[in-house]
Each structure stands twice: as C-alpha cells, then as structure tokens.
Amino acid sequence: MDPDDHVCLCFRVSLRKIANFVARENPRVPSQISDCLGAGTGCQWCVPFLKKLHQMHVEGKPLDLPVSPEEYAKRRAHYRKSGDRADAVDGEPPHDQELTPRPHD
C-alpha cells in the first residue's frame, strides 16, 4: 500500500495518517488507533489490518500492508456483502490465498 492509500475506507483514513498517529501517540493497544479519525469504528473491516499495523509498530518495523488498494477494496466489498472476514484474519490472507502485491513503480 502506498502511504496515501486508505486503510479505513469508511472514514478515509490513510496509511500515512495512521503511521503518523502511531509514531506520535505510541498507542499501547491497537484499539487506541480508533482515536485517529475514527479508524476501525465504521464497518469494522480494517480492524485486523489496524492490529497488524500496531504489531508492526511494536516490533519497530515500517508500517505497510502488502495489498493493492483495488484488492483491499474488493475484499471489503465481499465482507460488507457476506459478513465473511476470512480474507482479513489477523491482517493476513488465509493460508491458501496470497495477497495480490502492488507492483512497484
């Protein structure tokens, strides 16, 4: 994901906003990321991804999600229609699926 791609599609919260918030506020638990413009409080789709980003922060890794914005939106649409979060457990795809990587420019 590029920094300006949205992680929280409900409230249009970008990866950059989340990364800046996490660096500035150092949230102790992933749920505190909701203080960043309400991320994760709408349809709940991004919650596993927010947890993944929080874990990356705790581990001192750069925040990134290895998925294209198009694939991310497609999976969210499936979730909104079916309620099935199988594509987002712990921010990772199921073991038999791969995230579609975004080609590097």
The answer to whether the beta carbons of residues 36 and 43 sit under 8 Å apart is: no
**Rg of the Cα atoms in the chain:** 13
Domain containing 63: what range? 6-83
Average pLDDT over residues 97-102: 39
Chain-centroid distance, C-alpha 12: 12
48, part of any domain: yes
93, part of any domain: no
71, part of any domain: yes
In angstroms, rounded to a whole number, what is the distance separating the alpha carbons of residues 18 and 75? 20
99, part of any domain: no
pLDDT tens column, 12-71: 999 999 999 999 999 999 999 999 999 999 999 999 999 999 999 999 999 999 899 999
Output the pTM of the full model.
0.80
State residue 91's pLDDT score: 44
pLDDT band at 88 (very low <50, low <70, confident <90, very high): low
In angstroms, rounded to a whole number, what is the distance separating the alpha carbons of residues 44 and 30? 13
Count the domains in the chain.
1
